[in-house]
A = this chain, B = another copy of it.
Amino acid sequence: MALLQLLFLGAIILETSHASFMSTPNQIHLLRPRSGMAGQHVEGINCLSWRLGVETNNVVKWVTIPKQCAGYVGHYMLGQQYRDDSLAVTDVAISYVESLELAGDGKDMWVFDVDETTLSNLPYFAVHGFGSEPYNPTSFNQWVIGGKAPALPASLKLYYKLLSLGVKVAFLTGRTEDQRSATATNLKHVGYYTWHKLILKGSSYSGKTSAFYKSSERGKLVEEGYRIIGNIGDQWSDVLGTNTGNRTFKLPDPMYYIS
């Protein structure tokens, strides 16, 4: 392997000595830092690679983030990059919806997940290790019932655009029916002042995966005649499965994984 990597680097050095390369506006130097341009190196694991693995659905079924990456994930979530990454997703979604010729018959629908999509639980996770502590259903339920989650600004921007275009909004969440009132109040309080459906996970789905539950509920929307023109969530289980929608959008979330 080491020999092959040397050959690989050698090939690049040979090629990059060509004049056409040297004249590019942003000259690339061949010194290769230990963790690339973008990283703090943590022994044994590259936290940037781990996060990319999560976001691309390569790293699956994990329970907590790697302990060594708690600091990295915390900085990412509190920093500008998470906000920019989220806005980059919803800006693509807005361009997409603006490009459509909508029927205007009240059947165009957009599906939003709730947690880490419409609402942000970052204030909760900031005091619970950013996903490095095991999920605690009791304290998380207390947080949800408190109804104090801020909106994810990127999703709120998409939401207003959709309303202005006459697209119906459905919230489809793994939150359970007993959290309906707190969820509805929280959504309204932070700017999501109207919606067509707020679908919470009924007891008939207990023990089923989120992917199964959400596919089933989207199927019901389609049976009712809605066209799901878009679907956005922070989990791959929000956007894979059946009746996923004409286009899906995956928001970042390196804090937890839901099947």
Chain A positions within 8 Å of B, measured between CB atoms, are 1, 4-5, 7-8, 11-12, 14-16, 18, 20-21, 24-26, 28, 30, 32-40, 46, 48-50, 52-53, 55-59, 70-72, 74-76, 78-82, 84-85, 87-89, 92-93, 120, 122-124, 126-130, 148, 150-151, 153, 156-157, 190-191, 249-250, 252
Contact = CB atoms under 8 A, between A and B. Distances in A.
Contacts of A24: 70, 74, 129
Given A32-B80, A150-B7, A49 B127 contact: no
B38 A81 contact: yes
A126 B37 contact: no
Contact of A46 (B7, B12, B48, B84): B84
Nearest to A16: B126
Contacts of A156: 1, 4
A241 to B, nearest CB: 13
Given A58-B249, A153-B4, A35 B81 contact: yes
Contact of A52 (B35, B36, B252): B252
A93 B57 CA distance: 12
A30 B250 CA distance: 26
Given A34-B80, A123-B14, A57 B250 contact: yes
B20 A127 contact: yes
Please tell me how many copies of the chain the complex holds: 2
Given A71-B26, A92-B59, A129-B24, A15 B52 contact: no
Contact of A76 (B20, B36, B56): B36
B123 A15 contact: yes
B79 A127 contact: no
A178 B71 CA distance: 51
Q: Which of the listed residues A4, A8, A82, A191 has the most CB atoms from chain B within 10 Å of its own CB?
A: A8
8 contacts: A11-B148, A28-B75, A30-B78, A35-B80, A35-B84, A37-B75, A38-B39, A53-B92
A221 to B, nearest CB: 22
A20 to B, nearest CB: 5
Those 5 A-B pairs whose CB atoms lie nearest each other, nearest first: A36-B81, A26-B71, A49-B88, A15-B123, A36-B79
A150 B25 contact: no
A191 B2 CA distance: 13
